């Protein structure tokens, strides 16, 4: 196949030669960077990744924290070298708006699962609702939903449940730093819908909060709506919909690699000698920065993500081009 060369536009990289993995003939591919996507309902996070692979014209695409198919909102996508930043994005604090329905229990702890029990919530007071949710804030030991992606003996918990098994998951320590009741609605007889705004640590299940509030109130509960409003500093205000990304393909990256790292991490600027050492994986003298942090070269290019230990600043990942 002939070599193909095109002049890159803003935010666009050039690939010369065939594009692997069934994307042959598409010479222009997206640059390294992050995309903040407003995920629609009805799609898995992997469905979104597959769509972005097509739009970005590269297979090096990943996401920074799963959203259930029912959920909508912020899904951070990494493209090309920026996929290496996603391990840090996954661990970031997250915010959600959600609706908890009291009076019904489902097998999945959300509206996608079969209702397994009902109990009238008509007698549950607003004060009782707020008290039950207040008990689920701060550092808590939370049992994840049985229908989750957690692996049990090498198999996803949700698959075991769908195969008819009873799955008991161990409690995990999570932090719910903010849980605000926005509204308590009684639009349907015997049911109470509670709109909440939640900020929590990575690994927190909002479905489990709904379930546990229902258990505490003695009427059962599940989640009927979930929208992620922020992941770390990435918010809905900057999120693009899939139709919007379709329109600008393959220039889908909204935050180039260096800009993404500068925004997400503390920054350290290296001189020329330090840049050469770090680019080859060598350590630097410590700077007293609480890590991990991003180190940039004299030209403003991202070199590595670094943490300080044993008196040296050592790269966790090197991102400088070889």
Q: Binning pLDDT at 50, 70 and 90, where does residue 29 land?
A: low
Measured between alpha carbons, how far is 203 from 173 in angstroms, rounded to an integer?
9
Q: Determine contact, residues 37/239, Cβ cutoff 8 Å.
A: yes
Q: Binning pLDDT at 50, 70 and 90, where does residue 107 land?
A: confident
Catalytic residue among 32, 38, 68, 251: 68
Measured between alpha carbons, how far is 287 from 292 in angstroms, rounded to an integer?
12
Q: Which has more pLDDT, 12 or 139?
A: 139
**Mean pLDDT of all residues belonging to the chain:** 88
Q: Render pLDDT for 236-292 as a digit per residue (tens, 0 to 9).
A: 999 999 999 999 999 999 999 999 999 999 999 999 999 999 999 899 999 999 889
Measured between alpha carbons, how far is 74 from 84 in angstroms, rounded to an integer?
19
Per this entry, what is the length of the chain? Answer: 322
pLDDT for residue 155 is more than 60: yes
Residue 110 appears among annotated catalytic residues? no
Q: Render pLDDT for 166-182 as a digit per residue (tens, 0 to 9).
A: 667 789 999 999 999 99
Positive or negative, the CA dihedral 162, 168, 174, 180 is positive
What is the reported pLDDT for 149?
65
What is the reported pLDDT for 170?
82
pLDDT for residue 164 is more than 80: no
In the chain, DSSP finds a helix count (H) and a strand count (E) of 8, 20
Q: What percent of the chain has pLDDT over 90?
A: 77
Report the run of H or E that residue 196 belongs to, with start and end.
strand 192-200
What is the reported pLDDT for 168?
72
Give the mean model confidence (pLDDT) for residues 98-124.
95
Q: Render pLDDT for 116-130 as a digit per residue (tens, 0 to 9).
A: 999 999 999 999 999
What is the reported pLDDT for 17?
38
Give the mean model confidence (pLDDT) for residues 212-229.
98
pLDDT for residue 78 is more than 80: yes
């Amino acid at each position: 196949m002939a070599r193909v060369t095109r002049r890159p536009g803003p935010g666009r990289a050039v690939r010369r030669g065939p594009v692997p993995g069934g994307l042959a003939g598409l010479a222009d591919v997206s640059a390294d960077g992050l995309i903040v996507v407003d995920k629609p309902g009805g799609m898995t996070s992997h469905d979104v990744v597959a769509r972005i692979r097509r739009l970005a014209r590269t297979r090096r695409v990943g996401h920074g924290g799963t959203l259930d198919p029912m959920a909508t909102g912020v899904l951070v996508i990494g493209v090309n070298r920026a996929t290496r930043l996603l391990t840090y994005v996954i661990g970031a604090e997250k915010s959600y708006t959600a609706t908890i329905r009291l009076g019904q229990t489902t097998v999945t702890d959300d509206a996608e699962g079969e209702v397994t029990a009902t109990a009238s919530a008509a007698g549950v007071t607003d004060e009782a609702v707020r008290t039950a949710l207040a008990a689920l804030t701060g550092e808590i030991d939370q049992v994840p939903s049985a229908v989750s992606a957690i692996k049990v003996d090498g198999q996803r918990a949700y698959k075991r449940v769908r195969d008819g098994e009873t799955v008991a998951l161990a409690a995990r320590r999570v932090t719910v730093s903010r849980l605000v009741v926005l509204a308590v609605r009684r639009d349907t007889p015997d049911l109470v819908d509670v709109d909440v705004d939640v900020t929590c640590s990575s690994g927190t299940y909002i479905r489990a909060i709904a379930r546990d509030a229902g258990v505490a109130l003695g009427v059962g509960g599940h989640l009927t709506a979930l929208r992620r409003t922020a992941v770390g500093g990435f918010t809905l205000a900057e999120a693009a919909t899939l139709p919007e990304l379709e329109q600008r393909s393959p220039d889908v990256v909204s935050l180039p690699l260096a800009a993404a790292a500068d925004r997400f991490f503390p920054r350290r600027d290296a001189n020329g000698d330090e840049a050469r050492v770090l680019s080859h994986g060598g350590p630097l003298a410590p700077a007293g920065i609480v890590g991990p942090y991003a180190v940039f070269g004299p030209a403003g290019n991202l070199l590595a993500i670094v943490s300080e230990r044993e008196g040296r600043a050592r790269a966790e990942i090197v991102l400088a081009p070889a």
